[in-house]
Structure 1
Amino acid sequence: MNYNIKEKYNCVIIEFKGKIMGGPDAEKFRDDLHNLIEEGKKEVVVDLGKVSFMNSSGLGLLIGGLTTMKNAGGDLKICRADKKIESLLVVTQLISVFDHYRSLDEAVAAYGG
């Protein structure tokens, strides 16, 4: 699991690449989110546009991220999920849990940025 963290219009963008399958990388992701919170950065968009596969542990990683941000008074939105990942979100009924956007710009704009 690879990801890059960058900022755009006072919003943090986490761009995932490849496969999201949880595991040891989940702890690093959690730590990165806590570091963002400590820096006062609580508006996060997870860009799934370059994700080729996600399993249940990957979904758990995103749910944990959403919970972490909500508990800190922030939010985590997702964008650019492909058809496979979107259908996974529908089947698990998580599509109603996450704010999901077709484009990165729409997700950032949802924060008013």
Structure 2
Amino acid sequence: MKLSSRKVRNVVILDIEGKILLGEGDAEIKQAMDELLSRGEKHVLLNLAKVPYMDSAGLGEIIRSFTAMRKSGGDLKLLAPNQRLIDLLSITKLVNVFDWYGDEASALASFSS
């Protein structure tokens, strides 16, 4: 898994590429999110456009990150999850917990509303 970040206005976008699995991606996301929280970032967008698959450990890390961001007064949203990830969110009853968007412009605009 590859992880890179960029900032657009007041939103940090984490671009993720590859599978998010136990021992392969979940720890990297945790480290990146912990760093963002320690810097006081409040708006994070996880770009999942290049994530073909996520297991329960990956989903668990995204839930942990979402909860930590909310507790700090911030928000974490999802960008471009594929149908498999949407199905995973639906099966786990999390599809309505996360705000998710199909395109970056809409996702970025949602942080200012």
- State whether TM-score is above 0.5: yes
Show the counterpart of 1:10: 10
Give 1:40 shift: 2.3
Note if 1:98 corresponds to 2:98.
yes
Q: Deviations over 1:1-25 (max 9, x none)?
A: 2211110121000111110113264
Give 1:105 shift: 1.5
Q: Deviations over 1:26-55 (max 9, x none)?
A: 334223222222322110000100011111
Identity, % of aligned pairs? 34
- In 2, the alpha carbon distance for the partners of 1:24 and 1:16 equals 12
Unpaired segments ≥5 residues, structure 2: none
- In 1, the alpha carbon distance for the partners of 2:22 and 2:10 equals 27
Show the counterpart of 1:39: 39
**TM-score where L is the length of structure 1:** 0.90
**TM-score where L is the length of structure 2:** 0.90
Give 1:79 shift: 1.2
Unpaired segments ≥5 residues, structure 1: none
* Contact persistence 2:19–2:25 (CA under 8 A): no
Q: Write the mapping of 1:21-40 to structure 2, written as runs, cut at 5 A.
A: 21-23=21-23, 25-40=25-40
Show the counterpart of 1:109: 109
Structure with greater strand percent: 1
CA RMSD of aligned residues (A): 1.6
The residue identity in structure 1 corresponding to 2:105 is D
Q: Against the structure 1 CA distance between its residues 84 and 27, is the aligned structure 2 distance closer, same or farther, given a 3 Å change threshold? A: closer
